[in-house]
Structure formats: C-alpha cells, structure tokens
C-alpha cells in the first residue's frame, strides 16, 4: 500500500513537474536502499535488502572493503591497486607478474597483488561482455588453487594469504557476475577520476521523458496487476528492457564511450530494482 501511495505521489509530482529534480521524482517510488545515494560516501550507503552484487557500485565498495580487510587503512585506487610488488616473502625472488599467485622460484603463495583489478585477478579480458560460464570456470579454478583447505598445513603467512586471496576471488566473481555491478565497476576502471561522485546523480536530460514515461507506465501496471499472467508480462518487459540496456552498455564500452555507459547503467539500476519488486510480488502469499 505504501508503495502505491509513493507511486501516486511520484506520478503527481512528475505530471505537475513541480520543480522537483527528476532524480528525486523517479526515486520517489524506489525503496530507499536502492535509490541513488548522491552525496553519501559509497561505502556508507544503505543497502539492506538488496543483494550485495546488485547494489549500485557494489563492486567498488566491496573491493575497497576487501582491501581494507587485507591492509587496514589502505584505500587503493582501482587502476593501480598498487604496491604488493615486493619480493617473495619466503625466498626473496622477484614477485610474479600480475596476476601471479605463486612465487615462480619457490612456489609459495603470495599476498594479493594490489596492482590487479578484478578482471586481471580472474584472468579475464577487461570488458563488459562476460560469459557467466567462463567467469564461473575461472572462479572455480582459482578457488581450487587458493582455497584455505589446501594450506591447512602451511606456514601461518601462507594460510593467511590463502584466506585473503580466496576472499578476493569471491568478491571479484560476485562483482563481475551481475551486469549492473560489473558495469559500474568497469566504469570506475575506465573513468577513475569521475565515476564515483556522480554515480548517484540524475538521469541525462535527453533520456528523461521517454524513460520516465515507461517507468510510470510499468509502475502503474505493476501496482494494478491482479493476475499471475499480468505480473508475468510486466516481468518479461522488465527483463527485455534490461537485456536491451545491457547490450547498449556493452556497445558503449566497446566503442570507447564509457561516459555514455553511465546514464544507461543508472537506468539499469532502476529496472533492476523494479525487477526485484516484481519478483517480490510474484512470490506466493
Ligand atoms: Zn619464493
């Protein structure tokens, strides 16, 4: 009921124009946790109820959390996660080339290499199009090599590194698996200086009317849907829009237009949250 009220408020505000910034109008019907978090540091935004990997910027925040766990006080940039780079902790040999996990000389497991981004870590090319099967294969292969169970009899340092490496691989996998978190992560890599502050910003002016109209129409259909068939149709429409957006995002990155990906990703974030609401409504009561 509350959502219905919010929606009607959204519709009214949007129709009257009312001098309300579009981002706020559109956001009015979205649960707080999923709204754009402009002005709030990324890592402090509320995300309760939203699967971690689907949260806006989840990759970046979790990446930083992962690194914070590994090196307290460190807040690395993404392009250069920087500095592992020292010699092998056991034999002093030069460090393996990223994303090498083991010393080439003595085979000791090394601490996470902070020069690696998530794509390098998993051994994947840095691009938006990622096959879930390939991603899964990379993650499983690395987890077999790095899993703490394999190091239960190893030196304390190596056990610790295996926990860190293993956790990092899971973070990377979770971030790159979902198109939304993968897209925002890639955006951060491509535009390290400007992505984060704007991630929660408003929609692009030229996309406003069509996007808003579709949003309002689907919101109304969702609120009024009274049969599983109608809910299914709304769900299919949301899925189709997400697929289209995903394709557009992929093209923007491939054609070296990362800035064009940002408004598309914001739209994806909205459709994702609407998709979640559809799923909630589809659950048997
Ligand atoms: Zn070594």
Question: Tens of pLDDT along 200-224?
Answer: 545 555 556 888 888 888 888 888 8
- pLDDT surpasses 80 at 19: no
Regarding predicted confidence, which is higher, 258 or 197? 258
Tell how far the Cα of 179 is from the centroid of ligand 1, in angstroms: 38
- 18-32: average pLDDT: 38
Task: Output phi, psi for 67, to 5 deg.
Answer: -70, -35
pLDDT value, residue 157: 94
Distance CA 239, CA 243 (A): 6
Tell how far the Cα of 110 is from the centroid of ligand 1, in angstroms: 8
Tell how far the Cα of 142 is from the centroid of ligand 1, in angstroms: 19
Tell how far the Cα of 96 is from the centroid of ligand 1, in angstroms: 9
Return the DSSP state at 42: G
* Structure tokens that stand for 239 in this block: 């899925």
How would residue 270 be classed by pLDDT, with cut points 50, 70 and 90? confident
Tell how far the Cα of 89 is from the centroid of ligand 1, in angstroms: 7
Distance CA 230, CA 228 (A): 6
- 132-143 pLDDT, tens digit per residue, is 999 999 999 999
pLDDT value, residue 216: 83
Q: Determine the straight-line distance between the first and last CA of the chain, rounded to whole angstroms.
A: 15
Tell how far the Cα of 102 is from the centroid of ligand 1, in angstroms: 8
Q: What percent of the chain has pLDDT over 70?
A: 65
- pLDDT surpasses 50 at 246: yes
* Average per-residue pLDDT for the chain: 74
Q: Give the closest residue to 128 by CA, choosing from 258, 284, 279, 267.
A: 258
- 37-95 pLDDT, tens digit per residue, is 333 333 333 333 333 333 333 334 444 444 444 433 333 333 333 235 678 999 999 98
pLDDT value, residue 191: 92
pLDDT value, residue 186: 96
Distance CA 111, CA 113 (A): 6
Distance CA 7, CA 2 (A): 8
Q: Work out the burial of residue 50: count CB atoms within 10 Å of its CB; fewer than 13 is exposed, 13-18 middle, 19 or more buried.
A: middle
Could you tell me which residues come within 8 angstroms of residue 206 by beta carbon, excluding any fewer than 6 positions away? Answer: none
Write out the E strands in 40-189.
none
């Amino acid at each position: 009921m509350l959502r219905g009220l919010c929606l009607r408020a959204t519709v009214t505000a949007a129709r009257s124009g009312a001098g309300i910034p579009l981002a706020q109008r559109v956001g009015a019907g979205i649960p707080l946790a999923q709204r754009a978090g402009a002005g709030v540091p990324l890592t402090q935004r509320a995300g309760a109820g939203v699967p971690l990997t689907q949260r806006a910027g989840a990759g970046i925040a979790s990446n930083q959390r992962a690194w914070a766990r590994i090196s307290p006080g460190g807040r690395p940039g993404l392009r250069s996660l920087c500095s592992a780079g020292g010699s092998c902790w056991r034999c002093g040999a030069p460090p393996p080339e990223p994303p090498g996990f083991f010393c080439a000389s003595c085979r000791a497991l090394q601490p996470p290499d902070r020069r690696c981004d998530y794509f390098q870590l998993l051994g994947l090319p840095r691009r938006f199009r990622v096959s879930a099967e390939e991603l899964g294969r990379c993650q499983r292969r690395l987890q077999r090599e790095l899993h703490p169970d394999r190091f239960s009899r190893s030196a304390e340092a190596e056990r610790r590194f295996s926990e860190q490496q293993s956790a990092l691989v899971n973070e990377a996998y979770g971030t790159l698996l979902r198109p939304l978190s993968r897209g925002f992560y890639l955006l951060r890599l491509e535009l390290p200086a400007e992505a984060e502050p704007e991630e929660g910003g408003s929609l692009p002016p030229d996309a406003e009317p069509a996007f808003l109209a579709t949003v309002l129409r689907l919101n109304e259909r969702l609120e009024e849907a009274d049969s599983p068939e109608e809910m299914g149709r709304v769900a299919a429409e949301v899925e189709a829009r997400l697929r289209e957006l995903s394709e557009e995002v992929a093209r923007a990155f491939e054609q070296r237009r990362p800035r064009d990906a940002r408004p598309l990703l914001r739209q994806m974030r909205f459709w994702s949250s609407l998709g979640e609401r559809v799923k909630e409504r589809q659950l048997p009561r």
